[in-house]
């Protein structure tokens, strides 16, 4: 049986942690002999997801010095590397109650072969799942161009 690499990181949600995640991703990609073009897409998408946690997830904290955690899992299987980026922050809604949307999530969707973003039940926060195939028949941006990701923000019940 072939060992499937798995990396789990949990750290304070600060800017320097994003670099740690990128280094872990590069090490995993090297061990898996991932194509440099696919690795570039991975790095950009994962950096964006982690930066979203650092910048947006914990804006509702009362103590300016308080930060939450940035949790990242890198899970390899036979066909792809799955990356999960999680936080325990305020979720997808901004402090004003409107979904906090920019180009980040559509960019992540365009760079990954599969993409899902969801609220974390029970734990609070958000989880972004990205799957990157080791070999690609087409550029994922062709399958889900920016602005056509299929991802919809949660509907405000009010």
How does pLDDT run across 51-110, given as a tens digit for each residue?
A: 999 988 887 765 555 579 999 999 999 999 999 999 988 766 545 444 455 668 888 988
* Domain, as residue range, for 108: 6-143
* 148 domain-assigned: no
42: helix, coil or strand? helix
Name the pLDDT band for 41 (thresholds 50, 70, 90): very high
Map residue 73 onto helix, strand or coil. Answer: strand
Evaluate whether residue 1 is within a structural domain. no
Q: Residue 45 maps to which CATH number?
A: 3.30.565.10
Three-class DSSP category at 49: helix
H-helix or E-strand containing 92? Answer: none
What is the reported pTM?
Answer: 0.79
Yes or no: say if 81 and 75 are a contact pair by the CB < 8 Å rule: yes
């Amino acid at each position: 049986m072939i060992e499937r690499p798995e990396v789990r990181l949990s750290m304070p949600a600060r800017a320097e942690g994003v670099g740690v995640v990128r280094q872990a991703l590069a090490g995993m990609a090297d061990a898996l002999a991932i194509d440099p073009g696919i690795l570039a897409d991975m790095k950009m998408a994962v950096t964006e997801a982690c930066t979203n946690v650092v910048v947006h997830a914990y804006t509702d904290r009362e103590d300016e010095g308080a930060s939450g955690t940035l949790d990242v899992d890198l899970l390899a299987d036979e066909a792809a590397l799955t990356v999960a980026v999680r936080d325990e922050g305020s979720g997808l809604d901004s402090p004003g109650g409107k979904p906090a949307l920019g180009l980040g999530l559509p960019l992540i969707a365009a760079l990954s072969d599969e993409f899902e973003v969801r609220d974390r039940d029970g734990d609070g926060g958000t989880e972004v799942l990205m799957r990157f195939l080791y070999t690609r028949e087409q550029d994922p941006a062709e399958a889900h161009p920016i602005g056509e990701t299929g991802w919809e923000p949660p509907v405000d019940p009010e």
